[in-house]
């Protein structure tokens, strides 16, 4: 990647925005300038990047002149307002919110799965939901080999997926409980400490939550195959970082557990941890801060002819957000697509 670009990180003071800066640094992303943008209340704050600090500037309608690439992590309403303005100024946007994911004009991309969809971008590329991303990384090699018919997924999602206030709420609740004090639930409708909430995002008319339907709809768009049936149950658990998922997969062609292990072991972005005789399997505490999607507990579903069960874990702030966004940007450069058509 030889190009040096002017890159804006929009929402640079948030957890994902700060992680984007870290990932850009760690991956030596080519740039001539990195601009940290945020709302007016964050102007003047400092965020670390490489061997210096960046001073946060306000994101306004005039902020994108001369910017080649904008990585958005600033919330859906902000993205809806500013992403088209950035594109009009000649900037390519990779957006981490849900605002553009199901827009027919915007590719929804996991680079290990559908990089070719970047070829038809019109200026805005959407980053999928965190829980969808790690599932796609694990499903793609299986779908290519044996064609997936149906997926049943249950998620166990970390509080960092809700944001910094949720992390602080879990910390405070644990501290208060350990000291015999009553807890207060502000971020979630119920206590999250030592509890599991089968409720992520709002409930919809069909009884599913919006998070669950994101996994259904985004899978079809990313895979480009409306025949894949997906059903999901999404649960918030008292873990700080890394989402865990239990997958039950039905394929058209029979795959043994060893077949799946071999497929995934050579797939990009995946580390297979499946040594149950040594009690080795993916865990949230080990995935936190790492780039890979970890897969284990791979076994055949003995209740159907072509079924596989497995367990996958990935850091929701890295691969589920910041890393995938930067990987999309890297792929745009590799494919010479950092331009507005």
Residues of each domain in the chain carrying CATH 3.40.50.720: 5-128+321-334
DSSP secondary structure code for residue 65 in this structure: T
**pLDDT at residue 2 above 90?**
no
Residue range 79-96, pLDDT digits in tens: 999 999 999 999 999 999
CATH of domain 132-316: 3.30.360.10
Give dist(CA 68, CA 256) in Å, integer.
Answer: 47
Enumerate the active-site residues.
130, 243
Residue range 23-61, pLDDT digits in tens: 999 999 999 999 999 999 999 999 999 999 999 999 999
pTM of structure: 0.95
CB-based contacts of 12-15 (< 8 A; 24+ apart in sequence): 12/36, 12/37, 12/38, 12/42, 12/47, 12/54, 12/56, 13/38, 13/42, 13/45, 13/47, 13/56, 14/38, 14/73, 14/74, 14/163, 14/164, 15/160, 15/163, 15/164, 15/317
Q: Residue 300 corresponds to which tokens in the numbers above?
A: 């055949």
Look at residue 3 in the predicted model and tell me its pLDDT: 58
Q: To the nearest whole number, what is the mean pLDDT of the chain?
A: 96
**pLDDT at residue 310 above 70?**
yes
Nearest-Å Rg of the Cα atoms of the chain is 20
Residue range 311-334, pLDDT digits in tens: 999 999 999 999 999 999 999 999
Q: Is the CB of residue 273 less than 8 Å from the CB of residue 295?
A: yes
Q: Say what percent of the chain tops pLDDT 70.
A: 99
Q: Say what percent of the chain tops pLDDT 90.
A: 97
Residue range 63-82, pLDDT digits in tens: 999 999 999 998 889 999 99
Q: Which is the CATH superfamily of the domain at 5-128+321-334? A: NAD(P)-binding Rossmann-like Domain (3.40.50.720)
Q: Is the CB of residue 254 less than 8 Å from the CB of residue 305?
A: yes
Residues of each domain in the chain carrying CATH 3.30.360.10: 132-316
Return the axis-axis angle of helices 210-223 and 130-146, rounded to nearest 10°: 40
Instruction: Taking residues 113-120, report their average pLDDT.
Output: 98
| Sheet strands side by side (includes 148-157) | 229-236, 148-157, 243-251, 307-314, 293-300, 270-272
Look at residue 1 in the predicted model and tell me its pLDDT: 42
**pLDDT at residue 172 above 90?**
yes
């Amino acid at each position: 990647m030889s190009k040096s670009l002017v890159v804006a990180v929009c929402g640079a003071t948030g957890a994902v925005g700060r992680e984007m800066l870290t990932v850009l640094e760690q991956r030596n992303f080519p740039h001539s300038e990195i601009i940290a943008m945020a709302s007016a209340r964050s102007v003047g704050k400092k965020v670390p990047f490489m061997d210096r600090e960046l001073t946060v500037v306000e994101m306004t309608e005039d902020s994108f002149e001369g910017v080649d690439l904008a990585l958005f992590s600033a919330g859906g309403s902000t993205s809806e307002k500013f992403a088209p303005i950035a594109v009009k100024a000649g900037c390519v946007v990779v957006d981490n919110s849900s605002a553009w994911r199901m827009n027919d004009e915007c590719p929804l991309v996991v680079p290990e799965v559908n990089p070719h969809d970047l070829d038809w971008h019109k200026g805005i590329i959407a980053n999928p939901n965190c829980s969808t991303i790690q599932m796609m990384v694990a499903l793609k090699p299986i779908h290519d080999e044996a064609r997936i018919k149906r997926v049943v997924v249950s998620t166990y999602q970390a509080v960092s997926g809700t944001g910094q206030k949720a992390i602080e709420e879990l910390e405070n609740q644990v501290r208060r409980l350990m000291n015999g004090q009553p807890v207060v639930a502000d971020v979630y409708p119920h206590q999250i400490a030592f509890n599991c909430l089968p409720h992520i995002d709002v409930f919809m008319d069909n009884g599913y939550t919006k998070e669950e339907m994101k996994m259904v709809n985004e899978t079809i768009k990313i895979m480009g195959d409306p025949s894949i049936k997906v059903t999901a149950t999404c649960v918030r658990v008292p873990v700080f970082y890394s989402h865990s998922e239990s997958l039950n997969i039905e394929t058209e062609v029979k795959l043994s557990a060893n077949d799946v292990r071999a497929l995934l072991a050579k797939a990009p972005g995946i580390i297979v941890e499946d040594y149950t005789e040594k009690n080795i399997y993916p865990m949230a505490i080990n995935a936190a801060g790492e780039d890979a999607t970890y897969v284990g507990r791979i076994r055949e579903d003995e209740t159907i002819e072509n079924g596989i069960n497995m367990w996958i874990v990935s850091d929701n702030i890295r691969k589920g957000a910041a890393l995938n966004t930067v990987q999309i940007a890297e792929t745009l450069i590799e494919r010479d697509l950092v331009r507005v058509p």
